[in-house]
């Protein structure tokens, strides 16, 4: 019936009509249900609830009718509560709720159209199955059931977990967690790590759920929060105060929170990390925390974190701050014994963690899959670990793992054990010998080396050599190894040591064994000694010399030398000379023989050294000079074609009073020169060499050579004397310097001489400026005359010898030359002769002209007008005034007026002298010329100085002072700076005595022309040269002397001309100005005026 669609449609319309009828009929009743709300937990059923006013009438029931969408039938259920469980449908659901009273009467009916959108999906409240805590890691572990079985299909679910702490339940974290519901119940787990230790305060957790069904169009809401769960407390709850976390290990740079828990009745004063106090964060009533950022590495005993409590308490914990292990560096594995492989490595950066927190190393071998735990001392820089060697395993692949509480690291190494053999140091090292050249060595190396060959290096050294010998030998197990060393030198002390390695695959040498010393046995000397012989002058005896053998040649201790004399292979005589003698005498008895010398030690005799005793006569042996080579003596000789068996150069070095030590050196026949060196040679000592040529029948002296290793300046000055002296020369004689004082080949002498006196400050000639030196290179010359000297002068002489090595010391002498007697005599005789001649000529003239003289000077009747003599005088006076040399009026006439008219008869002499002066002076004076009535006598004051000293007030006196002033003014221009150079020049050159020229002529160097010019300029000047006159200062001794000499003047004219009228010749000869040895001055005054 219901299958008919038209019928169904009719039924639905009827139902709707009825519903609308009910709704319209029953609204407004207080019991009517309203506010229908439906929620679903599983999308299958939903719980709908509504509101309805309950009247006093209890017993109300509700009838809920809805259309079952599956069977499309109306389903009604009755319920007493205001909720009903109905299925969730897609789209809308019509729900009619009828309120019934106790009697079943319908009070009100309400019909709701519930669409899907108005249904809320609220998952079931999740339940926490388990909440646990790991206090060491501050982690909470949460487990709950997802109740997936509620939904029959897969669904996305989200979870929200809330972490709360403290009593105040402040939220620490709200975390989301997504999961998939699989249609079955699943246990979900989740964890969370706290930033502060869990012990510090109480923690709480709750959870809720959200189902995301995208095809459900209704509201999807979070479930209710699960009931709060508290984090369980630690099992060992401390009964006293504590600081958390306890003994934690953290990485350097971490941020760590510490809390201090204390008990009731206590309070916290402060909390420190190490020595630093941090601000307290109050966690709860009995807990406070500090937060430490970026912690640095701690000391080995860790960093203390402590809180000080009131009233009395100190609580703390220790934080160990360090690093994760570094990658093991330089991992190296090698075997020393083939029993274990030792791996060594450098741990790298220190972790700052020790003992139970220190890095643990595990050595793992991949091929054998074995591992060993390494015991290392973290205080050591180098770490070692041993791994056992497995039989039949050559390749080892090691991995070294390092781990500590903060992390891990590893290093790997693959090795072939046969290529990594580093043997132990050889021990029990012994060295023995039973010969002079061989030694046996033995040593022990622990370990099993049967599979490899060993290479051992033996170091053999003595004082002057070192060599290394490599020996390869088969390996053995814990065995002694032996080696044999040859080519050693007899009687030599050697030091041996040995080290070994693997031969095939060299890896490393072992350490050197201890050193052992060994001295080889003696052997006969390797060669005969170097020998020489010398015949006595007479030729009767022959002295045989030999040189001691070198240590390397002696092969032992030389005990003696056997010297024998052979003649045609027959031994004539032999004798042994014990050590240390190195020569012996053999009496030849006129026969020559072949000398043989053999050195002997304990082991035997050396091969003989032979030399003939025959000396060939030599004539015309020359002595030549050798060249000093500084470190030796260079000797050369001419090659002699007859020399067939070499040259021998022999010398003898004497030391003190002992006989000299004969030494020699041999050279091959083609040698023509040699540098002879010897430690005994001393510089400055002369050595004599004899060159012998070895000819087929004997030795011949070819040449004598003298030489020095190094030439030095002569040790002493040549002994020299002055043989004779004259007024201008000295003859010097000297003696040879003894050879031993020459210290070199004498090259010549140097003679110095200069003016000088004993006791002068100058100590040597080197600072003497005017010295003259003369080089005497002719060594045969033993005397020298020094010429052109000044007479009566002291000279200082010095003589020095010189060699290539330098100039020797000087010996000084002082000599005074003799005076020049001839010059003196001439100087006296010539003026006397001149005076006599002049006197004679004057007498003759006077005699011849006696008449004229008489008439002129002594006339019978004197006529002053005609007096020629007076006229002459007047002229002279007039000429004087005309002269401009001195602009002065020397004769200021003082007028004396004779009042008496009867004139006294003047003496002729007075008239002669005074009158002309008066005549000449009057016109100039400007006084009255007509003084005929007066007799005016004019005169010049005889002494000028008196006039000068008088006060310069009146004119006449002032004019007489002019003399002095004018002389001054003559002098003053000299200070003119323009003329100064000339003055200086002249001053420097000075007046040079003419005798200097001959001396200069003796000088080794010739005079330069300029010097000659200078001499000329500086020489004597005629008086006409005013410059020279200017030089003479008025107060110079010369002037004073001349003043004194001419203290009084006979006439006024001579006052004017007392300098100028001095004849030039006289001045030149003036003794005051000449300092030559033979001058007049020197006649009275010996000292030369320097």
259 vs 445, which CB is nearer to another protein?
Answer: 259
Residue ranges in 990-1057 assigned as alpha helix (H): 996-1002, 1009-1018, 1026-1031, 1037-1045, 1052-1056
HSE (side-chain half, CA atoms, 13 Å) at 67: 16
Q: Which two tokens stand for residue 1047?
A: 């203290």
Q: Binding-site residue total for another protein (CB under 8 A)?
A: 28
Verify binding: residue 380, another protein, rule CB under 8 A.
no
Selected range binding another protein among 189-197, 313-321, 322-330, 836-844, rule: CB under 8 A: 313-321
Q: Note whether 94 and 17 are within 8 A (CB).
A: no
Verify binding: residue 312, another protein, rule CB under 8 A.
yes
Verify binding: residue 379, another protein, rule CB under 8 A.
yes
Instruction: Give the Cβ contact number of residue 96 at 10 Å.
Output: 21
Verify binding: residue 302, another protein, rule CB under 8 A.
yes
Rounded CA gap, 806 and 710, in Å?
Answer: 11
CB of 302 to another protein, least distance (A): 6
379 vs 570, which CB is nearer to another protein?
Answer: 379
Among 80, 235, 265, 355, binds another protein (CB under 8 A): 355
Verify binding: residue 243, another protein, rule CB under 8 A.
yes
CB of 235 to another protein, least distance (A): 13
Place of tokens 């060196």: 677
CB of 351 to another protein, least distance (A): 13
SS3 content of the chain, % helix, strand, coil (to 5): 20, 40, 40
CB of 323 to another protein, least distance (A): 17
CB of 378 to another protein, least distance (A): 8
Among 6, 103, 294, 301, binds another protein (CB under 8 A): 301
Q: Mark 248-263 as b/e (b = at least 16 C-beta within 10 Å).
A: bbbebeeebbbbbbbe
306 vs 802, which CB is nearer to another protein?
Answer: 306
88 vs 243, which CB is nearer to another protein?
Answer: 243
Selected range binding another protein among 316-324, 513-521, 625-633, 735-743, rule: CB under 8 A: 316-324
Verify binding: residue 304, another protein, rule CB under 8 A.
yes
Verify binding: residue 350, another protein, rule CB under 8 A.
no
Verify binding: residue 198, another protein, rule CB under 8 A.
no
CB of 41 to another protein, least distance (A): 50
Verify binding: residue 318, another protein, rule CB under 8 A.
yes
Task: List Cα–Cα distances, 354 to 329, 380, 866, in angstroms.
Answer: 19, 12, 155
CB of 192 to another protein, least distance (A): 26
Site string for another protein, 57-86 (x = CB under 8 A): ------------------------------
CB of 128 to another protein, least distance (A): 32
CB of 303 to another protein, least distance (A): 6
Phi, psi of 84 (to 5 degrees): -150, 150
Rule CB under 8 A: which of 244-263 touch another protein?
A: 246-247
Verify binding: residue 87, another protein, rule CB under 8 A.
no
Among 183, 274, 446, 604, binds another protein (CB under 8 A): 274
> What's the angle, vertex CA 761, arms to CA 756 and CA 765, rounded to 5?
60
CB of 238 to another protein, least distance (A): 10
Among 223, 272, 817, 892, binds another protein (CB under 8 A): 272
CB of 410 to another protein, least distance (A): 25
29 vs 278, which CB is nearer to another protein?
Answer: 278
CB of 356 to another protein, least distance (A): 7
Task: List Cα–Cα distances, 858 to 244, 798, 851, 914, in angstroms.
Answer: 164, 72, 10, 18
Among 16, 299, 833, 906, binds another protein (CB under 8 A): 299
Selected range binding another protein among 187-195, 270-278, 506-514, 763-771, rule: CB under 8 A: 270-278
Q: What strands lie across the sheet with 633-636, from one edge to the other?
A: 627-628, 633-636, 673-676
Phi, psi of 234 (to 5 degrees): -65, 145
Among 176, 275, 780, 901, binds another protein (CB under 8 A): 275
Place of tokens 């109905």: 86
> What's the angle, vertex CA 973, arms to CA 970 and CA 977, rounded to 5?
165
Verify binding: residue 317, another protein, rule CB under 8 A.
yes
Selected range binding another protein among 68-76, 146-154, 352-360, 954-962, rule: CB under 8 A: 352-360
Selected range binding another protein among 5-13, 97-105, 304-312, 771-779, rule: CB under 8 A: 304-312
SS3 of 396, please? strand
Cα–Cα nearest to 1056, from 931, 917, 898, 925:
917
Phi, psi of 962 (to 5 degrees): -50, -35
Verify binding: residue 809, another protein, rule CB under 8 A.
no
306 vs 443, which CB is nearer to another protein?
Answer: 306
Site string for another protein, 320-349 (x = CB under 8 A): x-----------------------------
Rounded CA gap, 329 and 413, in Å?
Answer: 11
305 vs 917, which CB is nearer to another protein?
Answer: 305
Rounded CA gap, 194 and 293, in Å?
Answer: 16
CB of 236 to another protein, least distance (A): 9
Verify binding: residue 313, another protein, rule CB under 8 A.
yes
Rounded CA gap, 482 and 846, in Å?
Answer: 145
Number of H helices and E strands in the chain, helices first, is 17, 63
Verify binding: residue 278, another protein, rule CB under 8 A.
no
Which residues have a Cβ under 8 Å from the Cβ of 384 and sit 6 or more positions away? Answer: 342, 343, 344, 374, 376
272 vs 810, which CB is nearer to another protein?
Answer: 272
Rounded CA gap, 201 and 1019, in Å?
Answer: 129
CA max distance for the chain: 232
Question: Residue 84: beta bridge partners?
Answer: 48
SS3 of 99, please? strand
Selected range binding another protein among 239-247, 413-421, 690-698, 864-872, rule: CB under 8 A: 239-247
Verify binding: residue 404, another protein, rule CB under 8 A.
no
Phi-psi map region of 271: left, alpha, beta (phi>0 left; psi -120 to 50 alpha): beta
Verify binding: residue 698, another protein, rule CB under 8 A.
no
Verify binding: residue 303, another protein, rule CB under 8 A.
yes
Rule CB under 8 A: which of 459-498 touch another protein?
A: none
321 vs 705, which CB is nearer to another protein?
Answer: 321
153 CB-contact burial (10 Å; exposed 0-12 / middle 13-18 / buried 19+): exposed
Verify binding: residue 648, another protein, rule CB under 8 A.
no
383 vs 499, which CB is nearer to another protein?
Answer: 383
Rounded CA gap, 128 and 125, in Å?
Answer: 10
Phi, psi of 366 (to 5 degrees): -70, -35
246 vs 408, which CB is nearer to another protein?
Answer: 246
Phi-psi map region of 1022: left, alpha, beta (phi>0 left; psi -120 to 50 alpha): beta
CB of 315 to another protein, least distance (A): 8
Verify binding: residue 306, another protein, rule CB under 8 A.
yes
Verify binding: residue 197, another protein, rule CB under 8 A.
no
Rounded CA gap, 804 and 683, in Å?
Answer: 13
SS3 of 571, please? strand
Q: Which residues bind another protein (CB under 8 A)?
A: 243, 246-247, 272, 274-275, 298-306, 312-318, 320, 354-356, 378-379
């Amino acid at each position: 019936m219901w299958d008919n669609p038209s019928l169904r449609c009719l039924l639905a319309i009827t139902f709707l009509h009825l519903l609308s009828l009910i709704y319209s009929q029953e609204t407004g009743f207080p019991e009517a249900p309203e506010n229908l709300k439906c929620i679903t937990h599983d999308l299958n059923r939903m719980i709908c609830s509504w509101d309805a006013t309950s009247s006093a009438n209890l017993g109300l029931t509700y009838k809920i009718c809805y259309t079952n969408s599956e069977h499309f039938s109306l389903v009604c259920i009755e319920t007493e509560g205001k909720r009903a469980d109905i299925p969730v449908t897609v789209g809308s659901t019509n729900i009619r709720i009828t309120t019934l009273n106790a009697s079943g009467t319908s009070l009100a009916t309400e019909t709701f159209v519930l669409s899907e959108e108005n249904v809320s999906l609220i998952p079931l409240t999740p339940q926490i199955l388990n909440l646990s805590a790991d206090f060491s890691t501050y982690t909470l572990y949460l487990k709950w059931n997802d109740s997936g079985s509620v939904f029959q299909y897969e669904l996305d679910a989200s979870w929200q977990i809330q972490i709360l702490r403290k009593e105040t339940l402040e939220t620490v974290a709200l975390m989301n967690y997504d999961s998939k519901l699989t249609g079955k119940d699943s246990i979900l787990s989740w964890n969370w790590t706290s930033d502060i230790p869990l012990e510090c305060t109480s923690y709480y957790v709750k959870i809720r759920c959200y189902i995301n069904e995208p095809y459900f169009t209704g509201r999807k809401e979070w479930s209710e929060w699960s009931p709060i769960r508290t984090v369980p407390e630690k099992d060992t709850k401390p009964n006293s105060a504590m600081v958390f976390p306890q003994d934690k290990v953290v990485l350097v740079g971490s941020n760590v929170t510490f809390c201090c828990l204390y008990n009731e009745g206590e309070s916290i004063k402060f909390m420190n990390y190490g020595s630093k106090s941090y601000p307290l964060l109050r966690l709860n009533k009995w807990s406070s925390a500090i937060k430490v950022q970026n912690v640095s590495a701690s000391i080995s005993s860790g960093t203390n974190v402590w809180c000080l409590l009131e009233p009395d308490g100190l609580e703390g914990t220790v934080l160990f701050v360090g690093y994760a292990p570094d990658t093991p560096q330089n991992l190296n594995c090698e075997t020393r014994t083939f029993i274990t492989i030792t791996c060594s490595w450098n741990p790298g950066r220190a972790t700052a963690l020790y003992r139970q927190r220190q890095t643990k190393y595990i050595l793992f071998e991949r091929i054998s899959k074995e591992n060993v735990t390494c015991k290392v001392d973290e205080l050591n820089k180098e770490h070692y670990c041993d791994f056992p060697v497995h039989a039949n395993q050559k390749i080892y692949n090691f991995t070294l793992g390092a781990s500590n509480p903060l992390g891990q690291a590893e290093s790997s190494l693959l090795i072939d054990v046969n290529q990594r053999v580093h043997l132990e140091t050889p021990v029990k090292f012994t060295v023995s010998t039973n010969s002079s050249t061989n030694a046996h060595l033995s040593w022990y190396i622990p370990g099993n080396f049967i599979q490899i060959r060993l290479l051992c290096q033996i170091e053999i050294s003595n004082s002057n050599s070192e060599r290394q010998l490599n020996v390869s030998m088969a390996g053995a197990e814990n065995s002694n190894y032996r080696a044999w060393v040859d080519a050693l030198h007899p009687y030599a002390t050697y030091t041996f040591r040995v080290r070994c390695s693997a031969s095939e695959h060299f890896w490393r040498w072992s350490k050197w064994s201890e050193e052992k010393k060994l001295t080889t046995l003696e052997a006969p000397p390797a060669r005969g000694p170097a020998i020489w012989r010398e015949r006595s002058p007479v030729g009767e005896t022959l002295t045989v010399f030999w040189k001691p053998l070198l240590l390397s040649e002696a092969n032992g201790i030389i005990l003696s030398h056997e010297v024998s004399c052979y003649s045609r292979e027959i031994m004539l005589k032999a004798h042994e000379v014990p050590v240390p003698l190195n020569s012996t005498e053999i009496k030849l008895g006129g026969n020559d023989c072949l000398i043989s010398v053999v050195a002997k030690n304990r082991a035997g005799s050396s091969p003989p050294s032979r030399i003939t005793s025959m000396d060939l006569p030599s004539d015309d042996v020359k002595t030549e000079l050798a060249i000093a080579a500084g470190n030796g003596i260079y000797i050369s000789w001419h090659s002699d074609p007859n020399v067939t068996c070499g040259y021998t150069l022999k010398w003898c070095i004497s030391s003190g009073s002992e006989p000299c030590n004969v030494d020699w050196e041999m050279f091959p026949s083609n040698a023509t020169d040699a540098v002879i060196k010897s430690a005994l040679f001393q510089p400055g000592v002369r050595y004599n060499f004899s060159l012998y040529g070895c000819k087929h029948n004997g030795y011949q002296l070819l040449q004598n050579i003298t030489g020095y290793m190094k030439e030095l300046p002569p040790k002493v000055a040549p002994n020299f004397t002055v043989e004779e002296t004259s007024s201008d020369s000295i003859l010097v004689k000297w003696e040879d310097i003894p050879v031993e004082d020459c210290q070199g080949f004498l090259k010549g002498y140097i003679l110095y001489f200069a003016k000088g006196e004993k006791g002068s400050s100058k100590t040597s000639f080197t600072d003497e400026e005017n010295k003259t030196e003369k080089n005497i290179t002719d060594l045969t010359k033993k005397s020298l005359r020094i010429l052109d000297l000044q007479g009566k002068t002291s000279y200082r002489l010095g003589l020095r010898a010189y060699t290539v090595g330098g100039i020797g010391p000087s010996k000084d002498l002082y000599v005074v030359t003799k005076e020049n007697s001839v010059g003196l005599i001439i100087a006296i005789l010539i003026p006397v002769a001149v005076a006599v001649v002049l006197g004679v000529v004057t007498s003759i003239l006077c005699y011849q002209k006696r008449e004229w003289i008489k008439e002129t000077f002594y006339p019978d009747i004197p006529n002053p007008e005609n007096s020629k003599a007076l006229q002459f005088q007047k002229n002279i006076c007039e000429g004087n005034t005309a002269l401009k040399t001195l602009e002065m009026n020397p004769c200021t006439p003082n007028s004396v007026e004779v009042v008496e008219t009867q004139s006294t008869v003047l003496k002729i002499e007075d008239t002669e002298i005074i009158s002309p002066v008066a005549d000449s002076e009057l016109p100039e004076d400007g006084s009255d010329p007509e003084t005929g009535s007066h007799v005016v006598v004019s005169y010049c004051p005889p002494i000028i100085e008196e006039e000068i000293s008088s006060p310069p007030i009146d004119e006449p006196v002032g004019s007489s002072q002019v003399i002095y002033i004018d002389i001054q003014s003559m002098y003053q221009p000299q200070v003119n700076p323009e003329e100064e150079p000339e003055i200086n020049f002249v001053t420097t050159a000075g007046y040079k005595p003419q005798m200097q020229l001959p001396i200069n002529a003796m000088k080794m160097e010739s005079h330069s022309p300029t010097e000659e010019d200078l001499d000329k300029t500086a020489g004597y000047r005629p008086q006409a040269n005013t410059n020279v006159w200017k030089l003479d200062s008025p107060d110079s001794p010369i002037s004073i002397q001349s003043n004194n000499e001419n203290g009084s003047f006979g006439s006024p004219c001579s006052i004017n001309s007392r300098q100028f009228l001095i004849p030039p010749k006289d001045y030149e000869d003036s003794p005051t100005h000449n300092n030559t040895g033979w001058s007049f001055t020197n006649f009275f005054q010996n000292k030369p005026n320097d």
